[in-house]
Amino acid sequence: MSQQGEKPAAHEDDWWRALYDETAPDAGPSGAADSLDDRFDSASDAVGGPETDPAEQVDHPVRVVPLPDPRLPEADLAPEPPRPATEPPPPPAPGPSPARTVAVGRAPWEPPAGPPEPRTFAVRAPAAGPSAVPEPAGAPPVRPAVGHIGDRPPTYDAEPAALPASGPDDLDALVPDTVLDGARYGTYTLRAASVRGDSARFRGEPRRDALLTARFGAGDSALVLVVVAGGARGTEQTRLAAADACRWIGGSVARSHARLSDDIRAGRRGDLKSGLQRLTDRTYGKLRGRAAELGLEPSAYSADLRCLLLSADPECRTRVFFGIGPGGLFRLRDGVWQDLDPVLPATGAEAREESPGGDRLTMDLQITSARPPHAGSPPPPPAEPFRFRASVARSGDTLLLCGNGLAEPMRGEPALAEELARRWTADGPPGLPAYLADTQLRVKGYADDRTSAAVWEA
């Protein structure tokens, strides 16, 4: 009886007994061929069908489902409308069978013959709702713009108009319209920029201010120097004097950077003041010597010099300022600007004043110029005093060192100081393009070069 319960037929029992009857004689070897090739042909006939002519093979229509692009959101995919089913082509008409046909089918390890079967993929339906609308890809990027303070913009245009005139012998003395630099060491971030004034851009005059940013040494003992030098308006030589002042004071600090770095980290203010004053005197001595070589008065080949020394040690927050000449040194603390560079007294050997933050400003008025060799000539005017300050920064402070082109509107236009305070106390230090746009905030009546360096404390 089978698994379904029906009774087997009589001829099935006869076949079973003929196959497994132990009393039946052995059938013996078969007369059919039993080689390896014969077995392969027999297996091929059982697995595959009869061989067909490749010309008779017909490609069946395949419905291709597009794959979603991984670079596009799912909302961009729309469902494809259904296509009508295509009836399969009729089978080929049977032809005359050959005298002897050997059917060779596909072995299990061989690739299937004919066109490959289509692959299908699950496609999710597009998301519905307002989020399915993509953002416009052609929107222009937002660039930092140069604004102005006040109801009306200044007279000159905000962008350069004319290049300075030059000749075949003046190419080495050309300076770019704008210089931008930055760095990050220890707990502070540095931004520095020097921009040609609106008046010089309109008239095609070169930038008179000079800017130097340099690092001496490596590791925690490295020393960062920022120099801002400005020449007087009206003479071509003052621009060259500003560049020379930056180069010469930079060389002097580089040769003494190891000792200066140790003094800053150890807080030896007295040694720093005397040493930096000697380096500054040496620089102005070279300027006077260069003026004599050119046959000029010392005042015709001179520049205002303001420098900032910063240690790369994260444990050192002492910031050292020194220099000669007008300019600005401001500190933004708790959203309020503090002027750390007060007006110096006209007379006196040495004066000490307290800044709003309690830091001491030391001034030495004993720098004198040599008397001219001509008898009866008037004595030279009093020399500019040497300015020095070493203060400890606090977390969140912003220290601004600038030339007279930015110091004057900072003191004369309160709206400029308020706008910079608003921008620089929001989200930490700005990037280089944003800092350049901030320092170029235009104020009517102030069109000189603007050179500055700002330090943001973490």
Q: Tell me the pLDDT of the chain averaged across its residues.
A: 76
What is the pLDDT at residue 13? 66
Q: Cα separation of 457 and 278, whole Å? A: 29
pLDDT bracket for residue 101 (50, 70, 90): very low
pLDDT in tens, 373-409: 444 444 454 568 899 999 999 999 999 999 999 999 9
- Side chain identity, residue 345: P
Let me know: does 437 contact 144? Beta carbons within 8 Å. yes
% the chain with pLDDT above 70: 60
What is the pLDDT at residue 364? 40
Neighbouring CB atoms inside 10 A of 272's CB total 21
Let me know: does 456 contact 371? Beta carbons within 8 Å. no
- In this predicted structure, the answer to whether residue 40 has a pLDDT above a threshold of 80 is no
pLDDT bracket for residue 25 (50, 70, 90): low
Full-prediction pTM beyond 0.75? Answer: no
Let me know: does 311 contact 186? Beta carbons within 8 Å. yes
Q: Cα separation of 208 and 239, whole Å? A: 4
pLDDT in tens, 424-452: 987 889 999 999 999 988 888 788 899 99
- In this predicted structure, the answer to whether residue 195 has a pLDDT above a threshold of 90 is yes
pLDDT in tens, 237-279: 888 999 999 999 999 999 999 999 999 999 999 999 999 999 9
